[in-house]
Chains A and B, each alone.
Chain A
């Protein structure tokens, strides 16, 4: 089924519900259920992720596992929210707002699958990162190797390390699946076998809430602003002008993000487009051919998690701003899609923003950084 078909079907489902008159409102996202399930899976999967890291991960990332678990599970929580919400959106389309016993089970399985997919994505990224660190360390050891009988053993050892990380992903996937099955099953059971994929929101005299597109703008701009604000000190250290630029950009994005929650003005949307397209263009230039100015003029920079996250958010805000500008003259109308689908981009923006922000402080993901334990070469005796 294509996304377009899904959206159309969801529209029909909404219309059907309203035509029937049996439910005097539209299905809204059951946030309590979504967040509860997300929290349960994020922290449980985080436990296994941390334990796997302790078993096979790079030693630099195994300090204080409890604190790392709390920190990293919290950071990935929005992704689990996105996954659970996505599963519920699909269930809403497939089974409607009222779940029967069989569809409850299937919905629970969908949620488990989505949560597990999110968890697997994280253990895969973790393993990749661990492999990179271990591989670097193996190169260091290989440089002083003396026991290898047949030349360099680096390739063999890296292969063994890679194999270990692959097994970690494989076993970890199975463990996460079982864990999520048990936990989601338990949550459903403790609720007496109920699983809500929607809640009923009655129409109020005040009419509709904030347009989800503006919510998306706010979330994405604030997320982008936070990422840019976090890298200001680093850029100040490299080049003061860059630091000033990022400070101004962060302030502008934050202000526009907050203003987006208010009334829609054409000027505001144009400003949003500007604070999106300018840094996006600069970023693309710096990562491909290199900026024509600055201390690293003409040298492409390597991409990292924070700048990719900011770039994605800015691309999103640019597109939404343009869409809202084109919509400006049309009469207000009912949303075409369900609240579930409309919430997904907002949650995605929050997730990307949080991950990007965390990426600006590598220690949040257990990056060793500099511990001050550098060695010095021994002067030959």
Chain B
């Protein structure tokens, strides 16, 4: 080879190297633009800090917190079980509860079985009658999510083997009947009883713990409060601390424990009194759920959920009678036992679950703590095949792959051709939903049959050809009736949030009348593969293929209907006034930042950099006035509280006990003037602030009527149970 050709070869090699390097860098840039930017944008992480947060999360997911969840068996006959519609719980007659060995009452020691508390305000002190008394036992029982046969499938959607409690293995492809799951239930049911309440008529509920009794000889599995304690919170009743069921109270007073232990009782007194006695503070839909410290998620998941619609009989405004007041859908029947039921007014509680595949290893930090020694985890549990699977300490949160409505998977509800009022409640641990009303000609197909795998199997069924066919008329949010009704194509439902809507089944959104036999699906269009946040929703990167039917409405005969859909400008309930000088409070507001941290070999969820300490009252981060105020407002005062999502790409449903708040600013913008389009409910009263990644809200809050300790916390229950909570108190 001559010198010239050798030189030419060297030049060529260098050129190739340079071109290769430049090309590689160019390709990386293009990939970052094409894939990385949308990925970050989708998660609200398109910032310099966001890129780090995304990388940290990816590292955590792939290297440090590897999680495997089971794939639930495929329910083969969806929409064959009827939607359970709870009946109102009957009160205990006075003659009965008066004869109890420890009857309820206003005296010292009469608030619980420990005889160490009394009710802060007895109804007579506010001119109310004595409370209606209910008795609810917390019991160990079973629950079935479906009567349908199931086909065990793996994460590829392929048939797989299954097991039973006797140790038998069933070959792949064998159709099975699910075993009932073990639950902790209010009165032994899931969901628990529904108390139909009314303003002006206080209710006292004696919750009594019978979780130590196991008449059915059930296997308790490896989740739920290990000492079988419970603590019930009426979310978000205007309630004194001793009846509020919050661990800031329970750890220092009353039981002085995360919850009430077996054979203990507590009388939770719900005054059904609006904050400050102000009618504008009236709400319309509570729910009660467990709030045991560190085990709220597992106890709620295990079934401790109950419903508490509350009506307003004043001037017949919203008393469950569609002939009076606002004429909202509802036909009331007063029962002889003192309770009442309201037809066409139906609560819909959504919970998602995973059922054990018998092959997934149960592994959890709670095993390290020795809470469930009998399970001998980490271990597989084929004997629990088909029963509920739970992980106390998931990386981001816990989402199931089967969604249930009022405890039933894929229920069907035959509706009359008329208007209905639906009270939506997200009772899930972490899942957020976005609902649409859709129709389809071809109906649901199983996700497995459509070729989906892994997380895309969540929800089990999809309706590929579904189209929106009706709109919702939203009339209420967490804080009760809205100032005005809102027409909505879809709405999001975050954990613990409530939304009430009217659906008119007489016609479609284009005005076409419905006919008997028509089918409408309540469909979830928010894809949320893990407890971190959604990957797709109408607000962020809609996935048109993600249409998961949750509830099937079959339209039946026409029925009398005296209800009305409130017109757009018809006032429902005015908002409590916001002082004109509320901005003067901005500088000295309290600031709380919710953020993820790392601790003890697992992740931890913290507020202002600290885990929940039930014995302390938290202080704010330093505010603009240079102060770090204590979260201890005076009774009957008002203030601004800011809650910041500290970033990292998680969403946080942040719940503040006691009074409803009103969002005045979101991300630095005044939403009392211009509402945030992504959070239309900011204009209403709420008890839970929905925080997208990196968002902050400033809330106007009141602290009336009671004194004592309360909490505020993330209602992603996996976050709450792992310290994303802080204590605060109202001082005289």
A residues contacting B by CB (< 8 A) are: 47, 50-60, 62, 64-66, 69, 130, 134, 137-138, 140-141, 144, 146-150, 153, 156-161, 163-164, 167-168, 171, 186, 188-194, 368, 371-378, 380-381
Contact = CB atoms under 8 A, between A and B. Distances in A.
Contacts of A371: 608-609, 621-622
B504 interface: no
Interface stretch (B13-21, B77-85, B160-168, B312-320): B13-21
Interface string B612-628: 01111111111000001
A178 to B, nearest CB: 13
B64 A164 contact: yes
A373 B597 contact: no
Given A376-B616, A377-B615, 14 more contacts: A47-B55, A55-B57, A57-B598, A147-B226, A149-B370, A149-B373, A190-B22, A371-B609, A374-B628, A375-B613, A377-B617, A378-B617, A380-B253, A381-B709
A300 B371 CA distance: 44
B52 A130 contact: no
A375 B616 contact: yes
B294 A147 contact: yes
Interface in B684-732: 708-709, 723, 727, 729
B601 A51 contact: no
B64 A375 contact: no
A160 B17 contact: no
Nearest to A151: B370
Contact of B49 (A66, A189, A372): A66
19 contacts: A52-B59, A53-B56, A58-B598, A64-B49, A66-B48, A144-B615, A147-B294, A148-B371, A157-B368, A158-B600, A160-B368, A160-B601, A189-B17, A371-B622, A372-B619, A373-B618, A378-B615, A380-B253, A381-B252
Contacts of B608: 371, 373
B363 interface: no
Nearest to B620: A373
Contacts of A53: 56
Contacts of B723: 141
Contacts of B252: 378, 380-381
Interface centre among A146, A160, A381 (most CB of B within 10 A): A381
Nearest to B591: A373
Given A56-B598, A375-B617, A186 B729 contact: no
A157 B609 contact: no
Nearest to B60: A55
Given A148-B369, A157-B601, A193-B13, A378 B248 contact: yes
Contacts of A189: 17-18, 20-21
A58 B52 CA distance: 15
A140 B616 CA distance: 13
B56 A378 contact: no
B369 A69 contact: no
Interface string B261-282: 0000000000000000000000
Nearest to B253: A381
Q: Interface SS of chain A: helix, strand, loop or mixed?
A: helix
B617 A168 contact: no
Nearest to B727: A378
A146 B18 CA distance: 63
Contact of A60 (B13, B368, B609): B609
A140 to B, nearest CB: 8
B241 interface: yes
A357 B611 CA distance: 32
Interface of B: 13-15, 17-18, 20-22, 24-25, 47-49, 51-53, 55-57, 59-60, 63-64, 226, 241, 248-249, 251-253, 257-258, 293-295, 365-366, 368-371, 373, 595-602, 604, 606, 608-611, 613-622, 628, 630, 648, 708-709, 723, 727, 729
Contacts of A149: 226, 369-371, 373
Nearest to B371: A149
A265 to B, nearest CB: 50
Contacts of A378: 248, 252, 615-617, 709, 727, 729
Contacts of A158: 600
A376 B617 contact: yes
A167 B63 contact: yes
Contact of A375 (B55, B370, B619): B619
Given A160-B368, A190-B21, A144 B52 contact: no
A141 B611 contact: yes
A172 to B, nearest CB: 9
Interface centre among B59, B257, B368 (most CB of A within 10 A): B59
A171 B63 CA distance: 8
A144 B614 contact: yes
Given A373-B628, A378-B252, A378-B727, A134 B600 contact: yes
Contact of A65 (B52, B226, B595, B609): B52
Contacts of A58: 597-599
B13 A51 contact: no
A137 B598 CA distance: 10
Contacts of B620: 373
Given A55-B56, A59-B595, A59-B606, A161 B600 contact: yes
Contacts of B599: 58-59, 134, 137-138, 141, 161
A157 B603 CA distance: 12
B415 to A, nearest CB: 45
Contacts of B609: 59-60, 368, 371, 373
B458 to A, nearest CB: 25
Contacts of B257: 146
A51 B59 contact: yes
Interface centre among B241, B597, B608, B708 (most CB of A within 10 A): B597
A358 B616 CA distance: 35
Contact of A56 (B14, B24, B60, B615): B60
Contacts of A65: 49, 52-53, 56
Contacts of B251: 146
B598 A134 contact: yes
A381 B256 CA distance: 11
Nearest to A143: B613
Contacts of B368: 153, 156-157, 160
A55 B598 contact: yes
Nearest to B61: A55
Given A144-B615, A149-B226, A376-B630, A381 B49 contact: no
B171 to A, nearest CB: 39
Given A141-B611, A160-B602, A381 B708 contact: yes
Nearest to A52: B59
B358 to A, nearest CB: 26
A64 B595 CA distance: 12
B127 to A, nearest CB: 26
Nearest to A175: B59
Contacts of B56: 51-55, 62, 65
Contacts of A168: 64
Contact of B14 (A66, A156, A193): A193
Contacts of B597: 58-60, 62
B620 to A, nearest CB: 7
Contacts of B708: 381
B66 to A, nearest CB: 11
B628 to A, nearest CB: 4
Closest 8 CB pairs of A and B: A59-B597, A160-B601, A54-B56, A192-B14, A65-B52, A66-B48, A189-B21, A375-B616
A197 to B, nearest CB: 18
A378 B728 CA distance: 9
Contact of A372 (B258, B295, B371, B628): B628
Contacts of B619: 372-376
B293 A130 contact: no
A268 B59 CA distance: 54
Contacts of B258: 146-147
B478 to A, nearest CB: 27
B183 to A, nearest CB: 21
A148 B227 CA distance: 10
A372 B294 contact: no
